[in-house]
Amino acid sequence: MTGGSESPSFSVGHLDGEFELPPVDESTLPDLYLDFEVDLLAPGDGVVTDRHHASADRYEADDAMNQIRGQISPFTLSGWLRHGCERVLQIAGMTACHPGEPNADYMRADVYDRDLSQGYHEKGACVEAGDTDAGCVVYELFGGFGDKPGELLRRPIRFSPVRSQVDVLRGEAEAHFRQLHTQVRSRNDEDGGQPLRHATRDVVGNVEGTWLLSLRSLNPEFVGLLLEAVSLLNSKSDTFEFQLGGARNFGAGIADVGVVNPLYTEREIRRVYNRAQNATTAMQEKDDEWRETYREEFTRALQERVSGADGKLDAPIDRPEGADEGERGDL
């Protein structure tokens, strides 16, 4: 890693082969913006809001005019992205670091062992097995035990219902918070539809904006894994397993997600979210350049990292080999 005012450069010494990567100072890297759209997100405890203090005496639970801001927890977001990354490795025939500690108190005794036979290795086992302390790509990106932070910095998404207060360059989104109150009613005829219990649910609607990710070290295979994981999450967004908050937490949301072209300037990124403006010719040219050259190179770096000299990363299960090659490079 480089420090000071020097712009960071890609670290490729550990990979075989040469890669045609974009100039770092002409890209958003080491930052990546995820374009994020969710119609309805109910992530359980994954939302914090300012409704108790900022709205104070003006807050009415059922008033649509409450302008509540808040954050979507990075834990919810991270678990979802990590799950996509694990799956990409598993599709490639690798195992990924299990996200849980082996001695944790699992509700079902055999759940950990079962996971180990289905595409996971014990958390950190990759470090003990290797001759460096690097571990597998998931271990490096998301971190391991206590003293090993991930190379991927994951922030919360800050949201506001007021579009003019949303800064997409800071990983913010327009979204509308509501606390839903529901009477769960009996369906038994004898009860005549009596309420059984009252349920309260925090939800965020019409989420639209960015999630800002930053890499602490600029390894091209990290970028490759994130690109493939985001592509997988987007194409599988309606399956329960890949819903945001669906696999390991309560609640869920179907997220349309993509990586904002890292070749865009800040002005161009803002333009993506300006409903009054379309993409410029320069942006379209950058899209072509990204799709035709750089995206494949990052994926190739991932292939190189995970499969050794002559291995090959298979096409994701949702996009079988030869089905539609054009789809693969889409942002």
Q: Which is nearer to Zn ion, 82 or 295 (CB)?
A: 82
Query: What is the distance between the alpha carbons of residues 238 and 282, in angstroms, rounded to a whole number?
Result: 33
C-alpha 276/C-alpha 262 separation (Å) is 22
Shorter beta-carbon distance to Zn ion: residue 99 or 205: 99
Does 207 sit near Zn ion (CB under 5 A)? no
When binding is defined by CB under 5 A, the residue of 126, 207, 226, 257 that contacts Zn ion is 126
User: What residues contact 198, with CB distance under 8 A and at least 6 apart?
Assistant: 181, 182, 183, 184
Token couple for 268:
């161009």
Residue pair 154/78 in contact by the 8 Å Cβ criterion: yes
Q: How far is the CB of 95 from Zn ion (least distance, A)?
A: 7
Q: Does 136 bind Zn ion (CB under 5 A)?
A: yes
Size of the site for Zn ion (CB under 5 A): 5
- Of 19-27, 96-104, 174-182, 307-315, which part binds Zn ion (CB under 5 A)? 96-104
Q: Which residues, in sequence order, are CB contacts of 36 under 8 Å at separation 6+? A: 157, 173, 207, 208, 209, 210, 211, 255, 256, 257
Contact positions with Zn ion (CB under 5 A) in 177-206 = none
Residue 205 CA to residue 182 CA, distance in Å, equals 17
85 binds Zn ion (CB under 5 A): no
Nearer to Zn ion, 142 or 177 (CB): 142
Judged by CB under 5 A, does residue 89 bind Zn ion? no
Amino acid in the structure at residue 3: G
Among 139, 142, 264, 290, binds Zn ion (CB under 5 A): 139
Q: Is 97 in the site for Zn ion (CB under 5 A)?
A: yes
Distance CA 124, CA 143 (A): 9
For 127, the token pair is 């470090």
Q: Which residues contact 50 (CB under 8 A, 6 or more apart)?
A: 68, 69, 70
88 near Zn ion, rule: CB under 5 A: no
| Candidate ranges 118-126, 187-195, 199-207, 246-254; the one touching Zn ion (CB under 5 A) | 118-126
CB of 254 to Zn ion, least distance (A): 29
d(Cα 243, Cα 318) in Å, to the nearest integer?
A: 15
Can residue 257 be called a binding residue for Zn ion (CB under 5 A)? no
Q: Give the nearer residue to Zn ion in terms of CB position, either 120 or 177.
A: 120
Using the 8-state DSSP alphabet, how is residue 293 labeled? I
Q: Is residue 226 at the binding interface for Zn ion, with CB under 5 A as the rule?
A: no
Does 215 participate in binding Zn ion (rule CB under 5 A)? Answer: no
Q: Which residues of the shown chain bind Zn ion in the complex (CB under 5 A)?
A: 97, 126, 135-136, 139
